[in-house]
Amino acid sequence: MSFLDIRGISRRYGTVTALDGVDLAVPAGGRTAILGPSGSGKSTLLRIIAGFEAPDSGRVTLGGQVLADGPAAMPAHLRGIGLVAQDGALFPHLSVADNIGFGLPRRAPHRAERIAELLAMVELDPAMLKRRPDQLSGGQQQRVALARALAREPRLMLLDEPFSALDAGLRASTRKAVAALLEAAGITTIMVTHDQAEALSFADQVAVMRAGRLLQVGPPRELYLQPKDPMIAEFLGEAIVLPARLAGGWAECTLGRIKVDDHRSGAGRIMLRPEQLVLAEDSQASEGAAGEVVEIDFAGALCSVTVRLLEAADGAGRLLLRRPALNLPAVGTRVRIAVLGGAHVFPAPGA
């Protein structure tokens, strides 16, 4: 049985449908990322779980307790749910200590010790307790916000785009630290984000949303390698989608004969990730699809190489590959493209 169970949740704002019959099961102690573009409904779903809004229909239960049954909903402050917002939402006029202890009773025994313990839990220096939020970096502010949310020992933690305001390097380190902290504490967590890499690296379950519906839910690796359709594939990362003829677990396409994860026969579409394609100069390889480098986009350690397939049906087929900056082929170089591993076959429409 799931710890958080969402069934048939719908929410409309006038003529706009924000959520349309959403079902989601979240296991106890797990980390679930709800991923989707702006306007997909992910923040609305988070607000309904938190208790800031009520659904028009559907039910939300947490640990067997009903939080919402249609418009009848338990108030947010009674749900035992913690929330960390995108910008931390710290009180600017309060010290770090007072921000962390905001939800603790003023006369609670050992209050100061508890605040110090929470600060240590998020790996911040005790000297920061007297500082104000504007004296902290973005990553430090998010850790203080997390400590404040943990102070009330929530049953469920909600993270609303918590790392999006941080720069790339700080975002990655803060994300890893928060994931390790929540895992160690055994707190069930839901994070909403539009960042694919963030969702895939943070969560052990990813739910992809579009236009108010959940399209696919599963482990990150499964969704990345076996998406249900090309739109999900391309939303989760760069994807190479090719028409192919299928037969006996193999596909014939412009890249040659490739093993696939499906044994049906006939026309279909297959997906490869760019990292599966290996590029070698024509003079150094005799196998693989023939192509010509037509564009190089230098981007530091990993660069984009656009290759025109010479044997494509219309002579204009193009592939985007990722290559290390070292020994990049020059524009105009004839190359061979080999495929590592197998391809994923998209399910037939209606399957």
Q: What is the pLDDT of residues 32-86, one digit of tens each?
A: 999 998 889 999 999 999 999 999 999 999 999 999 999 999 999 899 998 888 7
Residue type, 83: L
pLDDT of residue 269: 93
Cα dihedral 47, 48, 54, 58, rounded to 10, equals 160
Q: How far apart are CA 258 and CA 339, in angstroms?
A: 8
- Who wins on pLDDT, 312 or 160? 160
Residue 315 has pLDDT above 50, yes or no: no
pLDDT tens for each residue of 87-111? 767 888 989 998 988 878 887 788 8
- List, by residue range, all CATH 3.40.50.300 domains of the chain: 4-233
pLDDT of residue 350: 56
Quote the pTM value.
Answer: 0.85
Specify the DSSP element, H or E, that contains 296. Answer: strand 289-297
C-alpha distances (whole Å) from 59 to each of 45, 48, 56, 62, 68 are 12, 10, 10, 10, 5
CATH of 238-345, one of 1.10.10.10, 1.10.340.30, 2.40.50.140, 3.30.450.20: 2.40.50.140
pLDDT tens for each residue of 204-244? 999 999 999 999 999 999 999 999 999 999 999 889 999 99
DSSP, residue by residue, 220-247? HHHHHHS-SSHHHHHHSS--EEEEEEEE
277-309 as b/e: b if 16+ CB within 10 A: bebeebeeeeebbebbbeebeeeeeebebbbbb
Residue 348 has pLDDT above 80, yes or no: no
Residue 175 has pLDDT above 50, yes or no: yes
C-alpha distances (whole Å) from 325 to each of 54, 280, 299, 338 are 51, 14, 8, 19
- List, by residue range, all CATH 2.40.50.140 domains of the chain: 238-345
Residues 6+ positions from 131 with CB-CB distance below 8 Å = 95, 96
pLDDT of residue 8: 97
- Who wins on pLDDT, 287 or 132? 132
Q: How far apart are CA 162 and CA 140, in angstroms?
A: 12
Structure tokens at 318: 């193009």
Topology (CATH) of 4-233: Rossmann fold (3.40.50)
Q: What percent of the chain has pLDDT over 90?
A: 50
Mean pLDDT rounded to a whole number for the chain: 89
- Any idea how long the chain is? 351
81-110 as b/e: b if 16+ CB within 10 A: bbbbebebebeeeebbbbbbbeebeeeeee
103 and 148 in contact (C-beta within 8 Å)?
yes
Residue 285 has pLDDT above 80, yes or no: no
pLDDT of residue 137: 84
338 and 319 in contact (C-beta within 8 Å)?
no
pLDDT of residue 59: 97
Put residue 217 in one of left, alpha, beta given phi > 0 → left and psi -120 to 50 → alpha: beta
187 and 29 in contact (C-beta within 8 Å)?
yes
pLDDT of residue 141: 86
